[in-house]
Structure formats: C-alpha cells, structure tokens
Amino acid sequence: MSDLLTREEYGAISDNLTLPRCSFVDGSFRKGNGGVLPTINPATGEIIAELSAADASDVDYSAQKAREAFDDGRWSKLHPASRKEVLIKLAKLIKRNRRELAVMESLDSGKPIADCEQIDIPETINTIKWHAEAIDKLYDKTAPVGDDAMSLIVREPVGVVGLVLPWNFPLLMLAWKLAPALAAGNSLVIKPAEQTSLTALRLAELAMEAGVPAGVINVLVGDGPSVGQPIGLSNKIDMIGFTGSTDTGRRFLRYSADSNLKNISLECGGKNPAIVLEDADQLDIVAEHIVSAAFWNMGENCSAGSRLIVHKSHKEELLSRVEAHLRDWRTGDPLDPANALGALIDSEHFGKVSSAIDSATGKRLCGEKIDGKFITPTIFDGVKPDEKLAQEEVFGPVLAVVEVSSTDEALAVANMTDYGLAASIFSANIKTALRASRAVRAGTVTVNCFGEGDITTPFGGFKQSGFWGRDNSLQAHDQYCETKTIWIDLSDRDGDHIA
C-alpha cells in the first residue's frame, strides 16, 4: 500500500502518538472499574500507557448498551446500503490513519513494522471493504413447498455479539470478526487481548467518526477473569466469536452451558505440517515457503507451519536451503523496517517458548535467545513424531523437522496431532498433491506454497483447532446470523388454490 519509512521516521510517529487510556463504551471513552492495566512495549519492556481496566460491572453495562442499540434498530434495522456506506467510510478512515495504526500496533505487540504496514493494515482495510460490499449482495431464499404455501427462509442478525481476540494480529483478527458481524447488523462487545488493546480502541473511535451509532461497538480493556469470563457468562450476549488458545476456547463452551446457551464460534490453535513429498521439486522455492510458514510473525501464528515433514531424500538439501534463506530474516527492533522478526509478546510467553526449546530432544541447527525478549529462528532436526515439540503448539519461531520414508508415512504423521487448522503439501505431481490434500485433516491445505487462502475462502479448523464457524468468505456472515422460516398459507378453506 505504501513505501516503508526509515527507523527514524517511525520513531517520530511513535513519539507523537496520542494513545487511548480507557475502554470505549456507548460512543465515548469511559473509565472502567477494574483498576489500572499497564500496556508494555514487548521490545523494550517500557510502559507505553496505563489503561483504566474494566470489570464485570462494565461488561454488564456495555452489554446493556449494546442490547439497547440492537433493539431500537439504530444499526440492525438500518438499510443495508446505508450500513455498507458506513463501513466503506470506516475502511477509508483506517487507510487515512494507517501509519499511526501501524506504529501503534508494532509498539503494542512487538510485530515488525514492515508486516504492520504491508500486511496487517492493508488486509484489515480489505476485509472491512469486502464484507461491506457483501451486505447488499446476500439474498434470502424460498423453499420448494408447492402452490398451497410460501416459505421464506430469511437471515437475521444474532443480536449482541461478544468478540474475544488474540494478541498476535490485534487489528486484523478484529476486522475478521467485526466486519461480518457489523455487516449482518449486530451490536458488539469486544475484548481485545489485555496485551494489545490500543488499536481496537482507536478503531472504535474511527468507527464512530464513520457513522457507526453509539452503543453498536463497545471495546473493553481487561484480562480474562475480569472481562473475558463475564462476557462468556453474560445472559445479555447472544453469541461469542473467539480466536485464541484451545484451552481458553474450552472455557467459552463451558460459559455458554452455564449461562444462556449462547452460540460459540472458536478459532483455536494449530500444529500445522509442511509436507515435502519425494517428488517435490524446486527446493529453493520450497525452502522459502518453509521459512515464511515457520517464522513469519515470530511464529506467533495459529497457522504457522511449525512441523516440517520431509522425505529423507530431500532433507539435507532442503535444510541447507532453509538456513540460507534465514540469512535475510533479521531479528531486532520492531520499528526498524530492516527486521523481519520482532519481539515475543511478553516475558511470560518468552518463558513458555524458551521452555519448549530447552526441553526439545532433537538436534538444534540454529537459534538463540536475546535479552529475554527476542528469539531468533530456531530449528530442531531429528524430532520424533510423538515428541512434545511435534505435538504441542509452541507459538514461537521454532521449527520441528520430522523425517519420513514415504507419502503414506508423511500423511500419517501429519494427522498425528489433536489439531487440524492448516497444512501445506509440496509435490510436483498435481494428482499426488490433490490426493494428499484430501487425506490431511485440516481446514486449509495449500499446495506448493504456504498461506491461508484469502478473504474469499473460509478459514477455520478441524478437530481441536476450531468449533462451528469460519472466518473470511461469505461463510463468515453465517455465524453472525440466525435463520428464520416464515411459512405463509396460500390455500383457501376448501383446499382450492387462491387465484
């Protein structure tokens, strides 16, 4: 979307940011009742801002305001063309403020500024525009019920939707859920991750400027026990859209059972395989994709290709090429556009990733820890398929290499986890690649590349990687809608058809 600036120019933007200080409720910033929550720069350990945190009483107040907004129709009953116009204006405002948002995101999350500028912000804008344009292109249906009746099958917004978001792609994951939820006409109560609240608060402010009515978007600052759990247990909230760990996702299913049986859509973890078969060719290109899959966003990515399942005939050459490509992946100051990897999100997560590295039993080929904040790309060879490093999500820049002797073995190893979010198949034979793609139990399978599809393709997982809904594509709208049947009797009392 734009050329990158220099480190000094990004620093100047950083120095002049006006940061939000509290939650955004019913159209304005509102101090919470939950004390002070510091926002820390992962790369420096410095406090960026001290936010007024919310608690259960703030959740209840926000849900009530969202309910009032939904029930009186200020957004839910607005003409579809008008909702589209407002969301397109929001996309334009994000574009106008893109540099501010990119720097805010980098400071808050430790993400490389180049990724924020060139991936996260442009995709956020595209997501909102795409779902806005879909608003007046989604048609309801009739059923084939004969001449005696007419059956209308209509879609209606769920009502009040709680969105609980991760810290790895704060703004983009918000857009993935907010855009279809708003397009459908819902009101929202949003909990960004406590580590990364700033851009969600700024987006809510921009949404008001774009014309989203007060009460429709509410953003609450706080941690899981203070805000996430009350959202899950609220009887005023009709549905939850969640992205995060599988363990936390389970909690929201329990919250639903313990409250009003609200709909729950979960996008959870992954232990995603990159499968290099015996007939794979162009190994230098394969290596480039492997590096991107494993280390993009510091491996803090639910679809990261954290397992390399490679045929023994290719392993040595492929790993040599992978290590060569890693020379271009510098780790350091996130505001320096020359760096491809930034800092891990916080000290707790650094410790978790460090523990996974320290307990690994394979041969470490590369990787080091720096200042308790950074971990350079780390590769372990000789990992067994049933070892912890090949089974559990690390969520850091760590690649486990598993050697196999056949396609059947590769596919068996690929499916040997509790997860099923994404996978990549590398093969020069399209029939082999397609058969392998069908055999892998994953929601997205890419062939001869790493990726997640795009805005037009549904994203979500099998097994413990997901539950019920899908992000992206028109299917994303389904989870934020209820389906209603309206049956109209067209027969007269004598059973003759009405003319």
What is the phi-psi region of residue 261: left when phi exceeds 0, alpha when psi lies from -120 to 50, beta otherwise?
left
Alpha-carbon gap, residue 280 to 437, rounded angstroms: 14
Does the active-site annotation cover 267? Answer: yes
Phi, psi (rounded to 5 degrees) for 365: -90, -30
Does the active-site annotation cover 302? Answer: yes
Active-site position among 123, 194, 267, 288: 267
Please list, residue by residue across 166-204, b when 16 or more beta carbons sit within 10 angstroms of its beta carbon and e when fewer do: bbbbbbbbbbbbbbbbbbbbbbbbbbbbbbbbbbbbbbb
Active-site position among 22, 116, 268, 302: 302
Closest CA to 400 of 412, 409, 387, 419: 387
Token digits for 482?
Answer: 């209820």
Alpha-carbon gap, residue 109 to 163, rounded angstroms: 19
The residues annotated with a catalytic role in the active site are: 267, 302
